[in-house]
Amino acid sequence: MPKLIKIAFVLAFFLSVDSLSAQCAMCKAVVENGGAQMAEGINSGITYLMVFPYLLVAILAYSLYRYKKRVKN
C-alpha cells in the first residue's frame, strides 16, 4: 500500500503544472524592460541557482543508498 501512496503523490506533483509555472514579479518586470541578452542572463542565473539543491539531494540520496547497502552486507 505505501508504494501506491508514493505513486499517487508523484502523479499529483507532476500534474500540478499550473503552480509550477509561477514567477517572481520582480524578475518578470526586469525581463520585460530589458533586452534578449538580459533575459538570457536571468535564465542562466536561475538555472545555476536551481542546480545546487538538486545536486545536494542527489548526493544525499546516493549516500543513503550506499549506507543502506553497506549495512545490509
- Strand, coil or helix: 61: helix
Q: Are 56 and 49 in contact (CB under 8 A)?
A: no
Q: Enter the pTM of the model.
A: 0.49
Per-residue pLDDT 10s for the chain (73 aa) are 578 888 888 887 777 665 555 567 777 777 778 778 887 888 888 888 889 999 999 999 999 999 999 998 7
Q: What is the pLDDT of residue 69?
A: 92
Please tell me the predicted confidence (pLDDT) of residue 20: 53
What secondary structure does DSSP assign to 2-13, as a single string? HHHHHHHHHHHH
State the pLDDT at residue 49. 87
Which of 61, 17, 26 is closest to 46 using CA atoms? 26
